[in-house]
Chains A and B, each alone.
Chain A
Amino acid sequence: MSEEPGDFAVATHGLTKRFHRQVAVNAVDLRVPRGAVYGFLGPNGSGKTTTIRMLLGLIRPTAGRHRLLGMAMPDHAGDVLPLVGSLVEGPAFHPYLSARANLVRLDCVDRHADPRTTTVRVDGALDRVGLLAAADKKYRAYSLGMRQRLAIAGTLLAPRELLVLDEPTNGLDPQGTREVRHLIGSLADDGATVLVSSHLLSEVEQVCTHIGVMHVGRLLTQGPIAQVRAVGELRVRVETGQPEDAARVLRELGLTDVAVESGVAMGTLGKLAAEKVVVAMVHDGVPVTGFALQRPSLEDLFVSLTGEGFNVSG
């Protein structure tokens, strides 16, 4: 690669972690461009969290190296980590302290934090995740969703250039999930790079500019989302009263994987121009009531990359 290391908020080279005999992460080369919202996807157990732990210097790679915001880790951890907000493997706070006291505690240990602005920043972070009203409740009384929000608030105590969010929507209801997605969007709008891991594909698809897919410790593919999805082929979907006839026409046009469901004929387009399909249908007298082109979903893509369903643990 010819790019300057500074072009990437996260760049890893051959990052590998072996636990005893098991290889949890295998020669991963992550490239997260600055300003991207990078969806780090993979089923539970595929090595996402282990990778993130290595990125943040919590565990030592067996092999490989990496840079955050252009600075080599772990040598420059003291310089770069203050610019990185992180949520790793779920929230963790002192149960007998209030939410506010827990955030103040995090701020107290931060040598870069200005104690004169602690109150303002803590309340600002709580407000941003919608917890200000419950700020004085003990953490142990918090629901899982509130705990998750508090962990996100913890990442917002200081201005960040990079946010590393490991499964930030775990335990959130659909409304909470939507809010977190919105939050990620607004953080990206502020200029931050966001690396967000998830085992829920649909959740991430809507908010990401880039994705990387992990499976059994390996990074199968990564890149801008459109580019990654373009790997999969377009399928046409013809709604009609005569699906068998429509399927015949599709086969004659040279489409592959032709299938028929009730009132629908489908096929993979290949190199054929899509508009020719409708012309051929009309020409053969097949009544078309609906026509659509389908990009493969990320789930389809994952299946085609791994030959397995997404929910299978590696």
Chain B
Amino acid sequence: MSAADLTPDLAAKVAVAPVTRPRRHVSTRFLRSELRLIFGRRRNQAGLGILAAVPLIIAIAVKVSTSGSGRGPDFFASITSNGLFVALAALTLEMGLFLPLAVGTIAGDSIAGEANIGTLRYLLTVPVHRSRLIAVKFAAITIFSLVATAWVSLVGAVAGLALFGGGDMTTLSGTQIAMGSAVLRVVIATFYLGLCFASLGAIGLFISTLTEQPIGATIAVVVLNVMSFILDSIPQVSWLHEWLPTHWWVSFGDVLRDPIAWGDLARGLLTAAGYALVFWLAAWARFSDKDVTG
């Protein structure tokens, strides 16, 4: 059987079939499409709503309670003096579960979600190179992580400033800093935590390549997160603490010292970068030759 077997007009058509070498466009369309999928999805919008509820509850609860101080995280006591502390208190409260859960949901969805509904095979046959898919998915997770953290801070800052006002801020070192400097420090703290959560997202991305059940991947991320916090609270394994993915998260409070205590923050960023790199590579290695049968 050869081209000669074909009818003459068919053979003619084959002969004139254009030999096209498709052009490739370097663009951010894929990433923007990912972000539209993430932020356009009702479930995720509802999740962001829940994240926003925490700073609102804190601000209102502190406002209506008669005793201005009491037990609780450091930042709570300072809220009445400067509304910006609502943002920091909200981050402290959401650091343990809500924000990791949000990032875990997006990360768990990244590959497993597409595999689960079958769209993964259509992405790959477009074609999307598998390395590019992993890279874009991780970029989207990182952006979501930063946006979700910033969202909590923003809602907290706005609610706090509305209810308690702003002005000079008293740092944890007891010194006074100007409002502009205070805002900058809250931004730095937010950015720092956003990157920390993104490293957890890299772990989620890897788990997401192992399964076709996005919920399973999300649960695994949350379990790992909680496990890390538990291990961090057991003194007998203190040698392990500094290597835990969540250990340096609380260091975000160091931006409120005067001057900013960069040591632990740098260590935290290094740990986050390490986890992100290792698990991103693991995801890539796992996914690049995986059979896509879903």
Q: A residues near B, CB below 8 A?
A: 3, 7, 31, 33-36, 53, 56-60, 77-79, 81-84, 86, 88-97, 104-106, 108-115, 154, 159, 161, 191, 223-224
Contacts and interface: CB of A to CB of B under 8 A. Distances in A.
A109 B16 CA distance: 29
Contact of A112 (B22, B30, B293): B22
B71 interface: no
A57 B122 CA distance: 11
A88 B121 contact: yes
B236 interface: no
Given A33-B5, A106-B126, A92 B289 contact: no
Contacts of A82: 22, 126-127
Given A35-B14, A161-B17, A58 B125 contact: yes
A109 B123 contact: yes
B127 A77 contact: yes
B124 A108 contact: no
Contacts of A92: 117-119, 121-122
B289 to A, nearest CB: 6
Contacts of A36: 6
A35 B119 contact: no
Contacts of B26: 111
Interface footprint category on B: 35 or more
A33 B129 contact: no
B66 interface: no
B32 interface: yes
B17 A33 contact: no
B188 interface: no
A109 B121 contact: no
Given A33-B6, A105-B33, A223 B1 contact: yes
A33 B31 CA distance: 38
Interface of B: 1-3, 5-6, 10-11, 13-14, 16-17, 20-27, 29-30, 32-33, 37, 40-42, 117-119, 121-129, 289, 291-293
The 4 A-B pairs at the shortest CB distance, nearest first, are namely A92-B118, A108-B33, A81-B127, A59-B291
Given A34-B17, A35-B14, A94 B1 contact: no
A112 B126 CA distance: 9
A79 B19 CA distance: 11
Contacts of B124: 56-58
B28 to A, nearest CB: 10
A56 B125 contact: yes
A110 B25 CA distance: 9
Given A83-B22, A112-B23, 7 more contacts: A36-B6, A56-B121, A92-B118, A94-B119, A97-B40, A108-B33, A191-B13
Contacts of A94: 37, 117, 119
A113 B2 CA distance: 33
B117 A115 contact: no
A78 B133 CA distance: 13
Contacts of B6: 33-36
Nearest to A189: B13
Contacts of B29: 108-109, 115
Nearest to A58: B292
Nearest to B25: A111
Given A92-B121, A96-B41, A191 B2 contact: no
B3 A33 contact: yes
B1 A31 contact: yes
Given A78-B129, A106-B122, A109-B30, A34 B21 contact: no
B126 A110 contact: yes
Contacts of B117: 92-95
B105 to A, nearest CB: 15
A244 B3 CA distance: 49
Contacts of A88: 121-122, 125
B128 to A, nearest CB: 5
27 contacts: A3-B1, A35-B14, A53-B293, A56-B121, A56-B124, A57-B124, A58-B121, A58-B291, A79-B21, A79-B22, A81-B127, A89-B121, A91-B118, A92-B117, A92-B119, A93-B119, A94-B119, A96-B41, A105-B37, A111-B24, A111-B25, A111-B27, A111-B30, A112-B22, A112-B23, A223-B1, A224-B5
